[in-house]
Amino acid sequence: MITLDQLNAATLTEASQMLDGVYEHSPWIAEAALAQRPFKSLAHLKHTMADTVRQADRAAQLALIRAHPQLAGKLAEQGQLTAESTHEQATAGLKACSPEELAALRRLNAEYLAKFGWPFIVAVRGPRGTGLTRPEIISTFARRLENHADFELAECLRNIHRIAEIRLNDKFGVEPVWGNQVWDCAELLARHSDVEGALTVTYLTPAHQACQVQLVRWMHDCGFDEVEVDAVGNVVGIYNGSDLQAPRLLTGSHFDTVRNGGKYDGRLGIFVPMVCVRELHRAGKRLPFGLEVIGFAEEEGQRYKATFLGSGAVIGRFDFSWLNQKDADGITMREAMFAAGRDPGQIDPLKRDPTQYMGFVEVHIEQGPVLNEIDMPLGVVTSINGSVRYLGEMVGVSCHAGTTPMDRRRDAAAGVAELLLYVEKRAAQVPHLVGTVGMLNVPGGSINVVPGRCQFSLDIRATTNEVRDAMAHDVLSELKRITDRRGLHCTLEETLRASAAPSAPEWQARWERAVESVGLPVYRMPSGAGHDAMKLDEVMPQAMLFVRGGNSGISHNPLETTTNDDAQLCVEAFMSVLEQLAESP
Ligand SMILES: [Zn+2]
């Protein structure tokens, strides 16, 4: 076992020796990284090594990838793998492959090598460090065979960094105990679903209620002083501070999911502070202030055409006309609430008095590719993007595709296509501004008919309302020009408008110090997605911490993933925020 102090104090030769085997047959990575000593933490060392590889040229990156053995390949059969690889492949049970599995792996190895020219690399010990199953490895292999070569090269390098991370944990005798607790909670909570074979938990279904019961039990186990399910269905846990009168810190996120969603979206932001409370309670520690953790019942707007039911109730913005809305089965929200033992009549009192709180913080998985791409475990959110959405219908004249000359057409779909290209070009001019036409539909369209109608959607998001509105203004002007020129008519309905929620500077600074405290560089970024924090922003200061997602940050998808080591960093960062607040509230 080695320690960071030993590594920092050692000569370059000794230190390189200590890091031997972390990156397969590639000692240059350790040597280059060691020039940047001293390391503040193991996370700092891991990040520095990953950064070294990221900044190396493509030839060096390819050489690193090619230094790895094929999975269950010839070298393994001949017993010629490095000790590390032998152990990893054995942990994944690759020695016990059935003949069918071996045949599948051989075929995949061959196809993969033919397509990319390098061996397939996967961190077989997986996101929890305990090993992927053989079916998981084979399905990952098959899925990644479809990737673009540039993307796949980067994905191989990310897997190599994960392999290195686990090897470093072994060398330093480090186990991400808190991260494991978070990761295991996510796994267990994901057992409750509205449907079989996928993770879907929508508002107040039996699976949703089972999640409430589970969260209540865990909060009790962690040592929260008060735990309850409130009138709207939020699970609320309070860990008292030494001063019961002091304003509390509010935190949390949602536990509902989209249909066929991921295990970490929202839920991570509940588990991370839960694990902090478990640790405080275990150590017999009280903060000077209370910590209130809310598992918000609903954020995703899946069962009813309403979102943020949980955080909306907490800030006193629950819209009671929603109670009459019906779900797909004709059950009103009111009926669903009574059936689940909730009381809509008691929603009003859930409104919090902002003077009783210091502010709101939320930990959330990034749900995008940015942090993953730059090998950065944590990101500090600067602002939650404001958005505006429209549904539109372009109307022209549908006519014969063979007989109508090109200059006599009023093609509705071509008009929308022109608008779409403008949206793409206009949004690309400003950093962090995004515009999307996500729905395009030619009702009753036919291969031999010029489209007479085209329905479309438009979604614009930006870090400030001004940037968002400027783009919306330009898009509407362009739309007018297009319809005038093409002889089309367009109706456009604004369906949603949400204000940007910039992070409160002093709270953003706390997250920045927290990231520094775990030894990582601070990376700031806006949030492209909406979060519960944007509701809380209406009544109190807020700031968010993002953690990278694996699989290129994919979210609202079963492939959404994070590692126990990244979850550990979230807990450590959250602990740092608590310590900072305890020292100077
Ligand atoms: Zn979410």
Distance CA 55, CA 353 (A): 50
For residue 269, the CA-to-ligand 1 centroid distance in Å is 9
For residue 60, the CA-to-ligand 1 centroid distance in Å is 38
H helices within 131-263, ranges in order? 134-144, 149-172, 177-189, 206-222
Read off the pLDDT of residues 39-48 as tens digits, 9 standing for 90 and up. Answer: 999 999 999 9
Question: How many C-beta atoms lie closer than 10 Å to residue 102's C-beta?
Answer: 14
According to CATH, the topology of domain 179-383+501-583 is Aminopeptidase (3.40.630)
Instruction: Name the DSSP class of 557.
Output: S
Distance CA 206, CA 189 (A): 13
For residue 258, the CA-to-ligand 1 centroid distance in Å is 9
Residue 155 phi, psi (nearest 5): -65, -40
User: Is 346:337 a contact under the CB 8 Å cutoff?
Assistant: no
Residue 456 phi, psi (nearest 5): -150, 165
Q: How high is the pLDDT of residue 96? A: 77
For residue 470, the CA-to-ligand 1 centroid distance in Å is 27
Q: In 3-state terms, what secondary structure has residue 398?
A: coil
Residue type, position 38, single letter: P
For residue 303, the CA-to-ligand 1 centroid distance in Å is 16
Read off the pLDDT of residues 535-564 as tens digits, 9 standing for 90 and up. Answer: 999 999 999 999 999 998 999 999 999 999
For residue 226, the CA-to-ligand 1 centroid distance in Å is 25
How many residues make up the chain in this entry?
Answer: 585
For residue 229, the CA-to-ligand 1 centroid distance in Å is 20
H helices within 487-563, ranges in order? 505-517, 532-536
Residue with structure tokens 């992070």? Answer: 503
CATH 1.10.3330.10 matches 4-172: yes
**Structure token pair of residue 303:** 């069962």
- The parts of the chain modelled with pLDDT lower than 70 are 74-80, 91-92
Report if pTM > 0.85.
Answer: yes
Q: How high is the pLDDT of residue 74? A: 61
| CB-proximal residues (5 Å) to ion ligand 1 | 265-266
Sequential DSSP letters for 376-441: -SEEEEEEEPEEEEEEEEEE---EETTTS-GGG---HHHHHHHHHHHHHHHHHTSTT-EEE---EE
Q: Give residue limits of the domains in the chain.
A: 4-172, 179-383+501-583, 391-498
CATH 3.30.70.360 matches 391-498: yes
For residue 563, the CA-to-ligand 1 centroid distance in Å is 18
For residue 183, the CA-to-ligand 1 centroid distance in Å is 16
For residue 560, the CA-to-ligand 1 centroid distance in Å is 12
Distance CA 544, CA 384 (A): 9
